[in-house]
């Protein structure tokens, strides 16, 4: 299929882009396009206009400080994955990004775009949620910071407003002595995960994030629960469902197996860092 007709604009400044979005509630932002363009082609999305932000200056950097990693709107997955500094400060980023689709997709797709696309089967939304990160959004009214806990409101739905551009995302640094791990199961390399698990352990605290098992990226606090029982405990907070790729029972089985495995790996990671 071909996309429905739409207007196209490529603003030269952020202010121009924001003004365009404010004047057209049916316009969509185009950054990497790896999620949006397939939706257009299948006519699952039919915006009145695309606002291509790829020409905007100063929106393609990855900034690393002792407090964390800030990823600008046009930074590609491959750029973030290639940053040794980002991996040193927050290693979960590289662990998860290595599982995002294929190199061709990572070369074009943007990390911030994936976050605000709000696909519960994608890796980066659950990473942001698990780490307690945030997204900075700009509009003609100003800027605001959206905590990850307030970003995801439903299937493929974020709290980003139609007139806003997500200009950056912040991933907090890994605390000294803490550990992280990530694993997912796919039918083929690069496919969406049937189930994915990310873990963050810090002393007695154990938090685990899940992708592809609920309508939104879901983080469960499993502190104080024996590792062997964590998967079963997590299922009380998850919503595995049947689809053409897997049954709900199989997804629940993956939750049990991967939770134990990934939490143990996170503990090993923490010990190695100490």
Tokens matching residue 256:
């049990």
Distance between CA 259 and CA 267 in Å, rounded?
Answer: 12
Distance between CA 114 and CA 258 in Å, rounded?
Answer: 23
Domain 62-172 coded CATH 3.40.50.720: no
Pairing of strands 142-147, 165-172: unpaired
Tokens 């991996």 correspond to 87
pLDDT of residue 84: 98
Domain 7-55 coded CATH 3.90.180.10: no
pLDDT of residue 14: 97
pTM attached to this predicted model: 0.96
Beta bridge partners of 51: 9, 29
> What is the architecture, at CATH level 2, of domain 179-273?
2-Layer Sandwich (3.30)
Question: Which residues in the chain come in under a pLDDT of 70?
Answer: none
Distance between CA 243 and CA 110 in Å, rounded?
Answer: 27
pLDDT of residue 214: 96
Tell me, what DSSP letter sits at residue 108? H
Helix H or strand E segment including 45? none
Instruction: Domain ranges for the chain, please list them.
Output: 7-55, 62-172, 179-273
Distance between CA 233 and CA 221 in Å, rounded?
Answer: 10
Reduced to 3 states (helix: H, G, I; strand: E, B; else coil), residue 180 is strand
Distance between CA 61 and CA 70 in Å, rounded?
Answer: 8
Distance between CA 274 and CA 262 in Å, rounded?
Answer: 18
């Amino acid at each position: 299929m071909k996309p429905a007709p739409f207007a196209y604009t490529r603003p030269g400044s952020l202010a121009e882009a924001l003004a365009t979005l404010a004047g057209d509630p049916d316009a969509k932002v185009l950054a990497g396009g790896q999620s949006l363009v397939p939706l257009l082609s299948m006519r699952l999305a039919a915006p009145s206009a695309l606002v291509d932000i790829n020409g905007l200056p100063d929106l393609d950097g990855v900034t690393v400080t002792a407090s964390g990693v800030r990823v600008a709107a046009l930074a590609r997955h491959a750029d973030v994955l290639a940053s040794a500094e980002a991996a040193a400060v927050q290693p979960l980023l590289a662990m998860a990004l290595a599982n995002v689709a294929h190199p061709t997709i990572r070369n074009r797709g943007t990390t911030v775009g994936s976050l605000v696309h709000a696909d519960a089967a994608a890796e980066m939304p659950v990473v942001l949620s698990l780490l307690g990160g945030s997204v900075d959004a700009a509009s003609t009214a100003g800027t605001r910071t959206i905590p990850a806990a307030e970003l995801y409101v439903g299937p493929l739905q974020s709290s980003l407003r139609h007139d806003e551009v997500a200009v950056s995302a912040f991933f907090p640094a890994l605390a000294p002595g803490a550990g992280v791990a990530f694993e997912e199961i796919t039918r083929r390399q690069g496919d969406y995960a049937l189930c994915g698990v990310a873990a963050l352990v810090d002393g007695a605290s154990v938090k685990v994030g899940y992708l592809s098992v609920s309508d939104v990226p879901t983080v469960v606090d499993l502190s104080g629960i024996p590792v062997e029982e964590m998967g079963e405990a997590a299922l009380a907070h998850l919503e595995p469902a049947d689809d053409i790729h897997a049954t709900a029972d199989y997804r629940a089985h993956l939750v049990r197996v991967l939770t134990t495995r990934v939490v143990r790996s996170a503990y090993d990671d923490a010990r190695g860092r100490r």
